[in-house]
Chain A
Amino acid sequence: MTTENIHHVSASLGDHLPVLVVLVPFVAAPLLVFIGSRRLAWSIAFAASAISLVISFLLLMRVIGGEVISYHLGGWAPPLGIEYRVDAANAFVLLLVTAIAVVVLPFARESVRAEIPDRQNTLFYALFLLCLTGLLGVAVTGDAFNVFVFLEISSLATYVLIAQGSYRDKRALTASYDYLIMGTIGATFFVIGLGLLYMATGTLNMADIAERLVDQAGNRTVRAAFAFIVVGIGLKVAIYPLHLWLPNAYTFAPSAVTAFVAATSTKVAVYVLMRFMFSVFQPVFLFEVNTLEFIILPFALLAMFAASFIAVFQSDFKRMLAYSSIAQIGYMLLGIAFLTETGLTAAIVHLFNHGITKAALFMGVGIYALRLGGSFLDDIEGAGRRMPWTSAAVVIAGLSLIGVPGTAGFISKWVLVEAALEKGWWLIAILIVASSLLAVIYVWRVIEVLYLKAPKGDVIVKEAPLSMLLPLWVMALACVYFGLDTDLTISAARAAAEGLMAGTSGMR
């Protein structure tokens, strides 16, 4: 089946690219279960992700100039049928998600072998593919209800993947259960919001909804719909007060799952939030502007400080990174709350840069867990000397997390500060820099433990296998590359931001 699909990528069927990017992993997952071979599972999963990566790169190249591709599923034109709508914003997200999948999978092979029994292999990779499918489907669609359907696919797969961590630590089960409850509440809120929107507009196509909402700014049904959708997606994004599921879920999940989920799923949720805020609801609505300024903005700032502050006191490296993720999401929300093109560009660039940074860091954690038996700061004492390659990559990614010049993290924070200054919000610009100092503290704690402490015990520790080092270094080098050459990221993010800010006209 996969070979058949490679065949489709050829130019003659190039028009089908928007659906193929989702369809390849989609079909590969049941195929994997159908074949039921443990040995083939990984190869099929990797092949499918790689094909998707190629397709999403092709898609991004097509739309980076501001074009919009619309694909009618089932051949039915949009409001009646479901539409896939690719513009710079979602093509960029597609690229991030597929790239992370392709990099994490080779890493996963060793890591999964160590953390999960072999008999689970088929199901594990099938679920991995379904998670990927769901995230891609959410990103690519132009239909509001279709978002919900694919969100469910990815969420269900994620819950189970997290629970697979219970071979190492039984707490993964409760962590996954918490996430399941929170995630389901989020999904329910989202679907209630969609129901209210349908009631007010009679359609489910995003562009169509946007068009019919234009003169309904004061409609209280629409306001309630907005609130429900923001809270529902907010749970998935882990907006600050709604983040309670995240630390445990990230900490107890298998290393490979954490690396993939942390780098993609909250990012896709942020994208959905942006899509609904800018393409479906109009940013000119006073209600929305108020929500952003008085609710999202303070919580974003709170997240940046509170979550970073908690991260400083963690004794588990993995958990520290989980809290840092919540703080980083704060930066993205801040970019959105600026309601300017530069602000959005910052949010989208940060979404990408933080994705690759966190993927690198969580892979590093996975390697420590494999070789040293855990990711607590006690466990990794002196690892800098025993595992020089791994630790060097972790340091690079850590610097990117802080936002040191020359790394990807610097670029996104730079654009964010620029956006704040553009609005004349001096205080916020200072706060952004100040919160980065907190990141310096927690990253420094790790570096100190890695290099300045003597290794514990005399056990000889081997450097990580090449199949894990390579993906780690790819991501670490990507952190540096995108810190020096910003051509792809900034221009794609700017095109995406322009498309989003254009509102309805951007969709039609």
Chain B
Amino acid sequence: MLVTTAITVVRTRSLFAIVMLSGVFSLLSALLLVTLDAVDVAFTEAAVGAGISTVLLLGTLALTSRFERPVRRSPLPPLIVVLVTGAALIYGTMDMPNFGSPEAPAQTHVSPDYIQRSPHEIGVPNIVTGILASYRGYDTLGETAVVFTAGIGVLALIRLLRRRRDGEGNTKEGASLMRHHLILRVVTKLLVGLIMLFALYVQFHGDYSPGGGFQAGVIMAVAFILYGVVFSLDQVQMVLPPWLVHKLVALGVLIYAGTGIYSFFVGFNFLDYSALNPQHPEHGQHYGILLVELGVGITVTGVMVAIYYAFAARPPILSDEEW
């Protein structure tokens, strides 16, 4: 099904259908990840791939045309590159350990150590969270910085284009139109609170069950975006003004890095959360993970909302007379 979807995406000319299909693609890969027992990753894929990026792509679509212009160019060179890459991948699989084999190096070298050591060293039942936030916490800090970079990068780019906003009168459907749908408004009002609650649950329960800062941040952002889409940008910006979003984006990274810097002062290595409670390292680890996940959550929420604001502010705002 993944392959079928991918091929359809390539062959379709309607951009709208492509956006929808890539949402389907993400959802399918999330399912695939679930069957592979990678629940945390599946969760992220579903939230980011199927959720946010579809919304953002639709937002972009509102600013351009709905159909792709046909391109006439020889498909041969790219085809050869793709075939060579595919061949290399298949060549690489020939000496791979069998799927799920307990003798595979991936199962025998580092993983058993993680599984044995994390319950008493980290004190967090979800081993994945333990690895992400503590053993390899520095990578996660890096990933947060990637999100941060992407966020301010998009802001910088959107500002770049600000001057070229002229005469795009054909984007009438959009945010403001929905103001008149009573049912949507009521349902949204009910849902937004629940979504936020769920985001907080995912955020703070990430150490027991699948979830954590990345997923929670996305879900939290969805709540704001939904509110913005159904009501209006102005109203959601009254709740969460853009300047505050910008601060949040940076604040999250600072919380994460700050947690690490704190450990300097107590004489530990960078990001050694044992510093938070030297008598009980495993409690320190637990606090540390909660803190850094909070940082991740804040940055991710901030970035997602900031990107949404940046895109949503682009179409010319319609005055009432126009429709």
Contact = CB atoms under 8 A, between A and B. Distances in A.
B138 A79 contact: no
A27 B261 contact: yes
B322 to A, nearest CB: 30
Interface in B126-184: 134-139, 142-143, 145-146, 148-150, 152-153, 155-157, 159-160
Contacts of B254: 27, 30-31, 34
Contacts of A19: 269-270
A16 to B, nearest CB: 6
B305 interface: no
A224 interface: yes
A152 B142 CA distance: 9
Nearest to B160: A166
Contacts of A156: 146, 149-150, 153
B247 interface: yes
Given A30-B253, A34-B251, A74-B138, A203 B110 contact: yes
Nearest to A126: B152
A202 B138 CA distance: 19
A414 to B, nearest CB: 38
Interface stretch (B14-22, B93-101, B211-219): B93-101
A310 interface: no
Interface string A242-279: 00000000000000000000000000000000000000
B146 A192 contact: no
Contact of A199 (B106, B152, B153, B157): B106
Interface stretch (A117-125, A345-353, A361-369, A423-431): A117-125
A133 B145 CA distance: 10
Q: Is the interface of B mostly helix, strand, loop or mixed?
A: helix
A127 B145 CA distance: 11
A153 interface: yes
Chain A contact-residue range equals 35 or more
B269 A26 contact: no
B233 interface: no
Contacts of A23: 257, 260-261, 270
Interface stretch (B29-37, B59-67, B84-92, B313-321): B84-92
Interface in A20-49: 23, 26-27, 29-34, 36
Nearest to B151: A33
A204 B263 CA distance: 25
Interface in A129-169: 130, 133, 137, 143, 145-146, 149-150, 152-153, 156-157, 159-160, 163-164, 166-167
A74 B269 contact: yes
A171 interface: no
B70 interface: no
Given A80-B113, A127-B149, A167-B160, A225 B270 contact: no
Given A73-B138, A153-B149, A80 B264 contact: no
A119 B156 CA distance: 10
B268 interface: yes
Interface stretch (B3-11, B193-201, B271-279): B271-279
B92 A223 contact: yes
Q: Is the interface of A mostly helix, strand, loop or mixed?
A: helix
Contacts of A302: none
A48 to B, nearest CB: 13
A150 B268 CA distance: 23
Contacts of B69: none
Of B88, B93, B142, B143, most buried by chain A (CB within 10 Å of CB) is B142
Contact of A221 (B95, B152, B249): B95
A59 interface: no
A240 interface: no
Given A81-B136, A149-B139, A221-B92, A120 B109 contact: no
Contacts of A26: 145, 257
B104 A202 contact: yes
A15 B246 CA distance: 34
B105 A199 contact: yes
B74 interface: no
A349 B89 CA distance: 36
A220 B92 contact: yes
A76 B106 contact: no
A212 interface: yes
A33 to B, nearest CB: 4
Nearest to B106: A202
Contact of A149 (B105, B107, B142): B142
Contacts of B264: 8, 13, 16
Given A34-B250, A153-B142, A127 B109 contact: no
A220 B94 contact: yes
Interface of A: 4, 8, 13, 16, 19, 23, 26-27, 29-34, 36, 71-76, 79-82, 119-120, 123-124, 126-127, 130, 133, 137, 143, 145-146, 149-150, 152-153, 156-157, 159-160, 163-164, 166-167, 189, 192, 196, 198-204, 212, 219-225, 227-228
Interface of B: 85, 88-89, 91-97, 104-111, 113-114, 117, 134-139, 142-143, 145-146, 148-150, 152-153, 155-157, 159-160, 243, 246-247, 249-251, 253-254, 257, 260-261, 263-264, 268-274
19 contacts: A32-B250, A34-B247, A74-B270, A74-B273, A80-B113, A124-B156, A127-B156, A143-B139, A157-B149, A159-B153, A202-B109, A202-B111, A203-B110, A204-B110, A219-B95, A220-B91, A220-B94, A224-B91, A227-B88
